[in-house]
Amino acid sequence: MSVKASWDIFCVVVDNYGDIGVTWRLARQLVVEHGQQVRLWIDDLQTFARLQPSASATASQQWHEGVEIRHWSPQWPDVEPADVVIEAFACRLPDEYIAAMAASKRRILWLNLEYLSAEDWVVGCHALPSMQSDGLQKYFFFPGFEEGTGGLIREGDLIARREAFQNDLSLREAFLQSFDLNVQPGTTLLSLFAYENPAIASWLDALAAQAQPSQLLVPEGRVLEDVARWLELEQLRAGDRYQRGSLDIAVLPFMTQHQYDMLLWCCDFNAVRGEESFIRAQWAGRPLVWHIYPQEEDAHWDKLNAFFELYLRGLTPEASDALRGFWRAWNSGEGSGEAWLTMLEHEAQLLAHAEHWTRKQVANGDLAGKLVFFYADWLGATPA
Ligand code: TRH
């Protein structure tokens, strides 16, 4: 059951690309797959324009892929609230907007879209309402990996597109050639997207010393400084290529989300970070490592351990220890080279497991579909 409605999604870009990455992808999917009318309010259009190069970094109103993009500036315009209002990641809605929601005669669903976490309390907290001081109710919508959560963002045709791409080597070649890359058959392809990370050096040492040739693809970003340091260079920029031992390093430009998906699909192993690239790498069906967004008081370690609880199920104890060991080394900044070699001993099992995990997550439904369903259900359950 799908009800056509208007949606306002509010996004504050805290830092990096995760906030805008999630909301932009969700907005598009609500329009394209569910026929919803979506306005996306963004406080930082410059960051948005990095993900969507055709976007203006200054326009107060613009349309992309059927989504109305509005600049969320301190001067709040007098607008009618939408039927469904999503504040992403606990950003604070404008007071005038909340007042307009409270004054409206229409039934308006107000949701806070939470950050992704694998912690076990998520199932119990997902979709709980909370009464606000102005009499409005706000629901907490938690993405997640288990039944009973809001699921993960996944476009309806994503897995089919990914499979078609991975089954046709000419598509992979064409994609790589668009960056002037010709990769020799038998070369291991790896992508690297991470925060500053001291673990990089020992991992690169291990890749350079392996008998197997590797091609590392690094889109421009914060980790480049570590790679440059390892290469004993001042800096790196898009287009640079360097060879050390068995390792070839290519720096790529920051790309669109669609291109970045293809990069993940190309690679035998993906190093990802934050929230959005972490999910996209899971849809790629390939082994990965997650550089989790560091939080105060090391709260991110609880999140990482909670993810292990779910992800490692079904692996042999040895493979499970090896994967956990590498991810911990990656996130603590120590011993990643050795841990990498140990993990490679379980390469085939980890590849099969990655695909198995993808199937399991697909079976949980997807975030946009669950949001649309939740709205229809709420409408039905709420008296007019
Ligand atoms: O950029 P991030 O580090 O974002 C983070 C996290 O979301 C974190 O949870 C949040 O608290 C913090 O921001 C404020 O990593 P993330 O989430 O992977 O987002 C990156 C986005 O950028 C994702 O949508 C993929 C996209 N991307 C491209 O479009 N092109 C590229 O070339 C690359 C490397 C990424």
Known active-site residue 19: yes
Going from the C-alpha of 295 to that of each of 15, 114, 292, 305, the distances in angstroms are 13, 15, 9, 14
Q: What is the pLDDT of residues 302-357, one digit of tens each?
A: 999 999 999 999 999 999 999 999 999 999 999 999 999 999 999 999 999 999 99
Give kind and range of the element (H or E) at residue 61. Answer: strand 61-64
φ, ψ of residue 262 to 5 degrees: the values are: -65, -35
Going from the C-alpha of 379 to that of each of 7, 127, 324, the distances in angstroms are 14, 14, 44
pLDDT of the residue at 184:
93
The answer, yes or no, to whether residue 124 has pLDDT greater than 70, is yes
Known active-site residue 275: yes
Whole-number Å distance, alpha carbon 182 to ligand 1 midpoint, is 27
Residue nearest to atom 12 of ligand 1 (CA): 18
Whole-number Å distance, alpha carbon 276 to ligand 1 midpoint, is 5
Q: What is the pLDDT of residues 46-78, one digit of tens each?
A: 999 999 999 999 999 999 999 999 999 999 999
Whole-number Å distance, alpha carbon 245 to ligand 1 midpoint, is 31
Does the beta carbon of 83 lie inside 6 Å of ligand 1?
no
Does the beta carbon of 260 lie inside 6 Å of ligand 1?
yes
> Whose CA is closest to 145, among 253, 245, 318, 290?
290
Does the beta carbon of 254 lie inside 6 Å of ligand 1?
yes
CA pair distance 150, 203, nearest whole angstrom: 35
Q: Ligand 1 pocket: which of 153, 275, 300 to mutate (most atoms <8 Å of CB)?
A: 275
β partners of residue 110: 85, 138
CA pair distance 86, 380, nearest whole angstrom: 19
Give kind and range of the element (H or E) at residue 98. Answer: helix 95-103
Q: What is the mean pLDDT of residues 157-176?
A: 97
pLDDT of the residue at 2:
73
Q: 89: which residues sit within 8 A by CB, 6+ positions away?
A: 12, 14, 19, 112, 113, 114, 115
Distance between the two ends of the chain, CA-based, in angstroms? 18
Which of the 8 DSSP states describes residue 181?
-
β partners of residue 252: 219
Residue nearest to atom 27 of ligand 1 (CA): 257
What is the residue type of 81? P
Whole-number Å distance, alpha carbon 51 to ligand 1 midpoint, is 10
Whole-number Å distance, alpha carbon 19 to ligand 1 midpoint, is 8
Among residues 19, 87, 226, 366, which one is catalytic?
A: 19
Q: What is the pLDDT of residues 75-87, one digit of tens each?
A: 999 999 999 999 9
Strands (DSSP E) contained in the chain are: 6-11, 37-42, 61-64, 67-71, 84-88, 109-113, 128-131, 137-141, 188-192, 214-219, 241-244, 247-252, 269-273, 288-291
How many other CB atoms are found less than 10 A from the CB of residue 361? Answer: 21
Contact 372, 341 (CB under 8 A): no
Does the beta carbon of 255 lie inside 6 Å of ligand 1?
yes
Buried b (16+ CB within 10 A) or exposed e, 304-339: bebbbeebbeebeeebbebbbbbbbbbbeeebbbbb
- The mean pLDDT of the chain is 96
pLDDT of the residue at 381:
72
Nearest-atom number in ligand 1 for the CA of 116 is 9
Among residues 8, 87, 114, 275, which one is catalytic?
A: 275
pLDDT of the residue at 143:
98
pLDDT of the residue at 8:
98
pLDDT of the residue at 1:
56
Q: What is the pLDDT of residues 233-280, one digit of tens each?
A: 999 999 999 999 999 999 999 999 999 999 999 999 999 999 999 999
Does the beta carbon of 50 lie inside 6 Å of ligand 1?
no
Residue nearest to atom 10 of ligand 1 (CA): 18
Q: Ligand 1 pocket: which of 276, 288, 307 to mutate (most atoms <8 Å of CB)?
A: 276
β partners of residue 8: 39, 85
Whole-number Å distance, alpha carbon 193 to ligand 1 midpoint, is 9
pTM: 0.97
pLDDT of the residue at 182:
95
pLDDT of the residue at 383:
52
CA pair distance 376, 384, nearest whole angstrom: 13
Question: Tokens at residue 127, please?
Answer: 């979709």
Nearest-atom number in ligand 1 for the CA of 256 is 29
CA pair distance 226, 201, nearest whole angstrom: 7
β partners of residue 290: 272
CA pair distance 49, 55, nearest whole angstrom: 5
Helix (DSSP H) and strand (DSSP E) numbers for the chain: 15, 14
